Amino acid sequence: MNPSLVRDLVPAVIGVLVRRGADFASAEDAVQEALIRALDAWPDDPPRDEKAWLVAVAWRRFLDGARAEASRRDRELAVDLEPPAGTVTGADDTLRLYFLCAHPTLPPASAVALTLRAVGGLTTRQIAAAYLVPEATMAQRISRAKRRLEGLPLDRPGDLATVLRVLYLVFNEGYGGELDLAAEAVRLARHVVGMTDDPEAAGLLALMLLHHARRASRTRAGGRLVPLAAQDRSRWDTAMITEGVAVLQAALGRDRLGEYQAQAAIAALHADAPSTAETDWPQIVEWYDELLALTDSPVVRLNRAVAVGEADGPQAGLAALAGVDPGVPRHAAAAAHLHERAGDRARAAELYAEAAAVAPSVPERDHLTREAARVRAP
């Protein structure tokens, strides 16, 4: 059995069962039981159409478990075990499942877990390990999410923006346990792009590719963070960057700009530069202006202030930073960087220490602590 093929088939098969009337939890259980049967049957007797086989077996399992009325059972059980290829629609059912797993009524953490479980085909144990929580905790989270979806109408248009936001959250988790969540998010984003005609979906895929291409250079031995300016750009994945830029250009050509496309454009400018000094900072500032017009996000304002400091000098950057709420995450780190560039090393050291004290992760805390020590040194 090809694991990659099965993972691609699972969301489509669940989507078929849900469209036929199964509730989400029962549909997923039925598909998991069909997969167990496939493990036994396929090595000796591979089906001509794997998806149709899974749909037929899972649907029968659901009907048995649900004890549907006799007439319906008789009608559905008459389905051949291997119907002719092409009788099961795919993209619409799979996309409907994406919409369901990322339903706006679900908390973000639940939507992420359910998407990885039902659409990504990951086990509860894998997801729990990736998020560093006990397996029982993750199982409860997924079960609660399934219960919240019970009885929801499935004939309403889905919210693609919520799906993209969930995939973005998965990507930002990076790597956990035995899973590369960033790579999984890229895989799922490719899937969504293939099912939709939305430039923002393509923009998100481009953004992921451009960031993922730099992954090998972001840390040193022991997990020490390497800031962008100090990264070895020869270790960046040029093939992935080329693909990301091509996907972005096609999306921008649709003239329907969204926040993921704007973020990808900024990432593309960083990827295109031979060094930090040779980066087109004025154009990056322009893209941050576009992003601010779309989101009015305080985090974007913070990042824009740093870009202004590179484009127009540290004093201009500090002036831009003055309009940003000091409570925004990493505000102190941005201020430290700009003060250091302005020559105020004492104030920079204080701010690096402040930033380290509230850092969201141990590697970031350690990096900021080293920066404070570095600027204090003679």
Residue 178's pLDDT is: 58
Q: What is the pLDDT of residues 104-159, one digit of tens each?
A: 888 888 888 888 888 888 888 888 887 878 999 999 999 988 888 877 765 555 68
What does the alpha-carbon distance between residue 136 and residue 304 come to, in Å, rounded to a whole number?
42
Residue 87's pLDDT is: 37
- In SS3 terms, 173-229 reads as CCEECCEEHHHHHHHHHHHHHHHCCCHHHHHHHHHHHHHHCCHHHCECHHHCECCHH
What does the alpha-carbon distance between residue 355 and residue 314 come to, in Å, rounded to a whole number?
19
Residue 256 half-sphere exposure toward CB, CA atoms < 13 A: 10
Residue 330 near residue 346, CB atoms below 8 Å: no
pTM higher than 0.85: no
Domain 291-378 has CATH 1.20.1300: no
Low-confidence residues of the chain: pLDDT under 70: 1, 3, 66-93, 153-158, 175-179
